[in-house]
Structure 1
Amino acid sequence: MSFPLLTATAAVPALGAVATAAVPAARRTAAKWLALFVSIATLALAAAVLIRFDPGGDRYQLTESKAWIAEFGVRYELGVDGIGAAMIALTALLIPFIIGAGWHDADEAEDARDRSRRWRPTQGFFALILAVEAMVIISFAATDVFLFYIFFEAMLIPMYFLIGGFGDRAHAAGEEEGAKQRTYAAVKFLLYNLAGGLIMLAAIVGLYAVSADQLGEGTFSLQALSEARAEGELSMATNTERLLFLGFFVAFAIKAPLWPLHTWLPNAMGESTAPVAVLITAVVDKVGTFAMLRFCLGLFPGASEWATPVVIVLALISILYGALLAVGQKDIKRLVAYASISHFGFIVLGVFAMTSQGHGGATLYMVFHGLSTAALMLVAGFLISRRGSRLIEDYGGVQKVAPVLAGTFLVGGLATLSLPGLAPFVSEILVLVGTFSRYPAAGIVATAGIILAALYVLLLYQRTMTGPVKNPEVEGMPDLKVRELAVVAPLIALLIVLGVFPKPLTEVVDPAVEHTLSDVRQTDPQPDHPVAERTGSDEKPADAHAGGDE
């Protein structure tokens, strides 16, 4: 029996969460180091997943399958294609930086309490982060629809406490009002996502009923369902397939989030600490767009094609709406939140462009957006912790007193606007090319998001970092410390390296993209004009007759 690598990759942070929570109240530093060690061990396992994945091999690899709830056809089934392997690697990569950036985020709450009480906010904070990591990894690896659903919903619980219980204390209206806003943001996050999950649960039950009716035995196995559809053993009535597709898509569009189901994100990111905000938008939200590729397109190809025009319109609205609102924001973290809504619009646009460039670009966008948003938001968190304010107007002239902080902030911002030479540029260009080849008008409209991104990023940098130092609190602001540099520098290095040489990642992703396109029975559009063949000094169209005059 082969080693269950995917189970181990999820089990290590899960067990680490329990161990971290059990550390005695007085040993909070030990709890931090334990959480960091666990996250690094998980990263090593995720690297092993990526290394062992063979791009030329089977579609799903490192598979595990065991009976779980046999009476209902539920199995513990795991497996990764190139997209899943890339997303697991992204998750495991970001968690150590999130832990390092949030090293002191729960300390204040602990200091403010009676130390004789057995209250462990520091232990709880890091345990919750590890719990989210474990659930997200299982979500990226699950090939049983019901197993995916369980962890898709379960991750809401630790995220609720991270937002509401460990939220940002830099609130302009004071601590009492800040506590109300954190509670509101956490409840809104939970209700939105629970509502989407309930709709999805109804669709999962419907899918099971269809499989039981046509296959003689109900199943939740993604591979079994896909094979049955491909061989003609499982067919769905048009209206049934569309309803089931909508049940899945709404849940994923909330998680992503896609306009108009996005309104929970600015509240959740604004009221969270910077590391938790990164956990939300760079890790948890990626489950939504990933699931669109794996489940919506894989299980409901006909309905996906039917819904494509509407989804593309929603994606374009998200791109422009998010970017326009980002331009007008006064709060740094809400600006990044609205920018992320715009970026998720690009990802969804790539998914439903139904081209190899679009799907490949959407997958790379998920990875590179995670890196760029983590770099920008974590540096913004370091900035906010020094000044104690999220308002843009409270800064100015930071580059004069903290040039390294300002420089890393600039690189993170330039990556966010997809500057050529940085990783997000590659993914954004692929999405636009893939969209334009099939939907030229949508591709043209989407390019406006690039212009708006340059506007909100450069305005943010100008207002916070350049000009004279106006506020006394900024005058004595320290530059980045060693721990903070250790968090940011590797992210910036990755953005540069992958921006210049993305081939190692594209080689892993491309075979999965081809499989996804075959699921929806699509091929890339062919050029309108024949390609010229060159033979010696002569050129003639590829479709010209090979012989002489007739």
Structure 2
Amino acid sequence: MSFPLLTATAALPAIGAIATAAVPAARRTAAKWLALLVSLATLVLAIVVAVRFEPGGDRYQLTESHSWISDFGVRYELGVDGIAVALIGLTALLIPFIILAGWHDADPSPEHVDSRWRPTQGFFALILAVEAMVILSFEATDVFLFYVFFEAMLIPMYFLIGGFGDRAHEGGDKAAATQRSYAAVKFLLYNLAGGLVMLAAVIGLYVVAGSFSLQEIAAARASGSLEMATTTERLLFLGFFFAFAVKAPLWPLHTWLPNAMGESTAPVAVLITAVVDKVGTFAMLRFCLGLFPEASQWATPVVLVLALISIVYGALLAVGQRDIKRLVAYASISHFGFIVLGIFAMTSQGQSGATLYMVNHGISTAALMLVAGFLISRRGSRLIADYGGVQKVAPVLAGTFLIGGLATLSLPGLAPFVSEFLVLVGTFARYPVVGVIATLGIVLAALYVLVLYQRTMTGPVKPEIATMPDLKVRELVVVAPLIALLIFLGVFPKPLTDIVNPAVQHTMSDVQKTDPQPEVEAAK
């Protein structure tokens, strides 16, 4: 193709971010509509990428390659496989809903309405900037280029968490500002630490391989002209994996996530866990397994243990939460444990399930968290104890909240069930004991979701809830398509599996693994 489609898909939200930030202070509504239109145009480009992509074709398609920093062999090199196409589609799909859900989240306070203060423009510009950087991270096939945007997205996220936090804070404005600052700094420090370790590994990779290009390194390995010493490969793997485990997040590097999601607005919380965090698990597949196959197999036992701890630990802490948003955050930690488990099970079912889980978790978490955000904005509290009887006064809100919760616990018929089932099947095939332990996460998920619904939506109506309005048109426009997708992909996941499976086979080939064959007793 002569038209740089991948560059355009990332450049459009970047240009939109600049244009949104430049909208005059008094034209806040215009800034919102501009951001929404840019996000919808980006979704159209992402659909074009998916249509142009041929699942049975070359591993990396729609490629672009230009010299960037020639003295160090750095190239502006882009390409997508099926996994990247699925996650670019997820990102482009969720951003319009995030913008619509946060339509009033950055409106200035009454004393600033007539001033030159521009929170609305800044809020939506930062969201578009994050979208651009995430998409480029999925597209980059040059390791250094990937690293640049892997780190750069931290800056707009820092300001979204610290500057536009949740207004439903029990400690007042001053306490809320303090908590937001703490959460934003913790997010930044954790991820910067992971990024610095990764930078050392990126430099080490260049010293060993003489290139940052994934395709060049793969070709050199295939021809036998590149051989890494075992110790070197394992050290480089650890450098990359550490950064991705922080971003994912994986236990014990997860502690920044509950703070960040709890103190963010609901749309920003969705941006964190449904979009940004997927870069970490995606990179485990593309870079850890693709660049360091021997080291990936060497580290598998430890990674599986960490994934199991994440599954059980995150679910147990979700059961005991008093705060709705922190409950969803700990549930996400448990779900990311399933994703990592599927990746390192080293089976095609496990890795296909892990990729589907990234997409389905993004949609289900968006549905649940955005409805929770609508609920919290009405009551002004994140505490579960402050609710009760909501389904009697706002049945549509309660119903959509229930569907989002049922998707989170992977109810059959909804999209996450398919991915969780594939992860467990793939894990059982190679590590049956690990698979048995992982199923405990399913039981605990049913517990924390159903108890959350019971405490907030059923029972007698609390006085503060009696006049709560039901979902409005804008809110229904946000939630209804997400629920429709959860149902559609729950009963017909084939469009996603057709795109993802060939890429998974390439990854299995990288690590030189084949699926275990079932043992069938011979007939007597």
TM-score interval for Structure 1 and Structure 2 normalised by the shorter chain? over 0.9
Contact 1:422/1:496, CA 8 A, preserved across alignment: yes
Contact 1:110/1:121, CA 8 A, preserved across alignment: no
Q: Does 1:308 align with 2:300?
A: yes
Cross-structure match for 2:117: 119
Q: 3-state SS of the aligned residue for 2:515? A: coil
Match of 1:358 among 350, 358, 363: 350
Cross-structure match for 1:174: 172
- What pairs with 1:61-460 in structure 2 (closer than 5 Å)? 61-107=61-107, 109-113=108-112, 115-116=114-115, 118-211=116-209, 218-460=210-452
Cross-structure match for 2:502: 511
Paired letter, 1:474: I
Cross-structure match for 1:495: 486
Instruction: Tell me the distance in 1 between the aligned counterparts of 2:284 and 2:387.
Output: 40
Cross-structure match for 1:481: 472
The structure-2 alpha-carbon separation of the partners of 1:114 and 1:49, relative to structure 1 and needing over 3 Å to count, comes to closer
The Cα of 1:428 is off from its aligned counterpart by 0.0
Q: Which moved more, 1:414-423 or 1:226-235?
A: 226-235
The Cα of 1:226 is off from its aligned counterpart by 1.3
Contact 1:256/1:285, CA 8 A, preserved across alignment: yes
Deviation track 1:468-519 (CA, whole Å, cap 9, x = no partner) reads 112x221100000000000000000000000000001100000000000000
Paired letter, 2:14: A
Instruction: Tell me the distance in 2 between the aligned counterparts of 1:469 and 1:243.
Output: 58
Cross-structure match for 1:544: none
RMSD: 0.9
Instruction: Tell me the distance in 2 between the aligned counterparts of 1:357 and 1:232.
Output: 30
Q: Which moved more, 1:168-177 or 1:476-485?
A: 168-177
Paired letter, 1:373: T
Instruction: Tell me the distance in 1 between the aligned counterparts of 2:304 and 2:349.
Output: 16
Contact 1:357/1:433, CA 8 A, preserved across alignment: yes
Cross-structure match for 2:518: 527
The Cα of 1:113 is off from its aligned counterpart by 1.9
Instruction: Tell me the distance in 1 between the aligned counterparts of 2:387 and 2:426.
Output: 40
Deviation track 1:169-203 (CA, whole Å, cap 9, x = no partner) reads 10011111111000000000000000000000000
Q: 3-state SS of the aligned residue for 1:64? A: strand
Deviation track 1:109-138 (CA, whole Å, cap 9, x = no partner) reads 34342623x221000000000000000000
Contact 1:416/1:424, CA 8 A, preserved across alignment: yes
Paired letter, 1:519: D
Contact 1:110/1:120, CA 8 A, preserved across alignment: no
Cross-structure match for 1:548: none
The Cα of 1:34 is off from its aligned counterpart by 0.3
Per the normalisation by structure 1, the TM-score is: 0.94
Deviation track 1:355-385 (CA, whole Å, cap 9, x = no partner) reads 0000000000000000000000000000000
Q: 3-state SS of the aligned residue for 1:338? A: helix
Instruction: Tell me the distance in 1 between the aligned counterparts of 2:50 and 2:113.
Output: 46
Instruction: Tell me the distance in 2 between the aligned counterparts of 1:336 and 1:383.
Output: 14
Instruction: Tell me the distance in 2 between the aligned counterparts of 1:230 and 1:170.
Output: 56
Q: How many residues align?
A: 524
Instruction: Tell me the distance in 2 between the aligned counterparts of 1:111 and 1:379.
Output: 26
Larger Rg: 1
- Identity over the aligned pairs, expressed in percent? 82
Contact 1:110/1:122, CA 8 A, preserved across alignment: no
Cross-structure match for 1:535: none
Per the normalisation by structure 2, the TM-score is: 0.99
Instruction: Tell me the distance in 2 between the aligned counterparts of 1:39 and 1:8.
Output: 13
The Cα of 1:283 is off from its aligned counterpart by 0.0
Cross-structure match for 1:536: none
Instruction: Tell me the distance in 1 between the aligned counterparts of 2:328 and 2:260.
Output: 12
The Cα of 1:219 is off from its aligned counterpart by 1.1
Instruction: Tell me the distance in 2 between the aligned counterparts of 1:379 and 1:182.
Output: 22
Runs of 4+ in 1 over 3 A off after TM superposition: 109-112
Contact 1:351/1:362, CA 8 A, preserved across alignment: yes
Paired letter, 2:41: A
Cross-structure match for 1:547: none
